[in-house]
Amino acid sequence: MTVAKHEIAFHLGAPHTDNGQLTWSLRKDTKLLHENGVLARRPGTYRKLLNEKVKELDGCQASPAEQDELLSSIVKDQPVNRLILSNSKFMGIPAWMFNNGIFYKNAGTNMARLRNLFPDHPCEIFLAIRDPATFVPEAYLTQDEKGYDDFINGISLLDIRWSDVIASIQQANPDCPITVWCNEDSPVIWSTVLRKISGLEPDTNFRGGMDIINTIMSPEGAERLITYLQENPNLSETQSHEVKAIFLEKFALDSAVEDVIDLHGWTNEIVDELTECYEDDIELIERMSGVDFIAPQLS
């Protein structure tokens, strides 16, 4: 007999966005999640298991018995309605993100293979995107498999579009809603991201909701923001975003919010053009059907 349906939430990264913080922020509220039937295990407990099963299935769908066995291996004996699975390599290995000169060419196919692990269970997809002007340099400099030309693989930098990646994921996984947000907005919207991926109510208070903004503010600013939020516990989501944005503007650490681009041949003009293209791409993604785009709610 098949076990009850589980909601599966796949967090795809992207690489060099939250750098694993999402899982650790959620796990600060393990008791809250447990009470609501939500499970966010440490990724190291299931990544190898998922990879091995994907290879074994080789594009085929898991049988009901295989799904039950896989879920039992991850969930153990916990009562779970919603399972959160996170891996920044779900879309592909970062060193190969420009395979054949196409940005995440296999993102849709790779996500479909993951979807095939749990075909009888509802699935949602979560993805943070990042300005290519900072994303590409960090992705290149943190890998050692390829030289720059091999890494870029002939792609025109100005053709990098997250909307194309999202469209390919949607096309290959039409039954999976996708939620997207900008990494640059994460400090302000992090509580909203945690709420969305956990499926909890809008007024849920997460202990890890300040995890990212705390790392880019002065200690004084972080302390004053925490005090303000504690003294005003009934802020709406819009008000919370506004308050965090105001504090961030006043107390942000320059070293934490200013990226230094150091790649041979990259000029200020190229960086500016990439950012402009990214901003246009964001506007397109916000209008995409089937995409829930999380943006700061500012009046």
| pLDDT tens digits along 89-106 | 999 999 999 999 999 999
How would DSSP label each residue in the chain?
Answer: -PPPP-EEEEE---TTSSTTHHHHHHHTTHHHHHHTTEE---GGGTHHHHHHHHHHHTTPPPPHHHHHHHHHHHHTT---SEEEEE-TTSS--GGGTTGGGSTTTTHHHHHHHHHTTSTTS-EEEEEEE--HHHHHHHHHHT--SS-HHHHHTT--GGG--HHHHHHHHHHH-TTS-EEEEEGGGHHHHHHHHHHHHHT--TTPPPGGGGTTGGGGB-HHHHHHHHHHHHH-TT--HHHHHHHHHHHHHHHB-HHHH-PPP--TT--HHHHHHHHHHHHHHHHHHHT-TTEEEE-----
Confidence band for 1, pLDDT divided at 50, 70 and 90: very low
CATH code for the domain in which residue 86 is found? 3.40.50
Q: Is residue 1 part of a domain?
A: no
Q: Is residue 233 part of a domain?
A: no
Q: Is residue 187 part of a domain?
A: yes
What pLDDT does residue 188 have?
A: 96
What pLDDT does residue 256 have?
A: 65
Q: Is residue 213 part of a domain?
A: no
Print the domain residue range for 76: 7-204+265-294
Q: Is the CB of residue 8 less than 8 Å from the CB of residue 118?
A: yes
Number of domains in the chain: 1
Q: Which residues contact 20 (CB under 8 A, 6 or more apart)?
A: 43, 86, 88
Q: Is residue 88 part of a domain?
A: yes
- Interval 190-233: pLDDT, tens: 999 999 999 999 889 899 999 999 999 999 999 999 999 999 98
Q: Which pTM does this prediction carry?
A: 0.95
Q: Is residue 219 part of a domain?
A: no
Q: Is residue 237 part of a domain?
A: no
Q: Is residue 252 part of a domain?
A: no
